[in-house]
Amino acid sequence: MRWVVNGTVVDGRGNPGRAANVRIMGDTIGSVEPGMKADLCLFDPARVIDRATFEDPGQFPEEIARVIVNGRTVLQDREATGALPGALVRQ
C-alpha cells in the first residue's frame, strides 16, 4: 500500500481540484467510493518533462509515475500495460 500525499483530486465535473491524500493498494484507489469509476494520473508537476514534438507527438512525457483508468493501470514506469479499460461517460 502506498499513499500519495498532498495530491490534487479533480472530480471531472468542472469543479476546482481539492487537496487530498490518496491511498493506492495494487490497482485500487482508496479515496473513491465503491462502484464509482475513476481515472488517476500520478506525477510531480515540478518534474514532468513533455517530450512530444510536432514531428513526433506520440512521445510519453517523462516522470509520469502511473496512469489508472477505471481502476486499472494503463501506464506504469513509462510502459503501457496493454489494458484498455476506458469507457464513454454520458452526462
Domain ranges of the chain: 2-80
Query: The C-alpha cell of 47 is what?
Result: 518534474
Strands 28-29 and 18-25: antiparallel
- Cα dihedral across residues 8, 61, 2, 11: positive or negative: positive
Query: Residue 67 is placed in which grid cell?
Result: 496512469
| Contact between 3 and 23 (Cβ < 8 Å) | yes
The whole-angstrom separation of Cα 67 and Cα 40 is 6
Please give the model's pTM, rounded to 2 decimal places. Answer: 0.62
Q: What is the domain class of 2-80 according to CATH?
A: mainly beta
Please report, in tens digits, the pLDDT of each residue of the chain (91 residues total): 666 667 777 776 778 888 877 777 766 666 555 566 667 888 888 888 998 999 999 887 888 888 888 878 898 887 889 999 887 777 6
pLDDT in tens, 36-56: 666 788 888 888 899 899 999
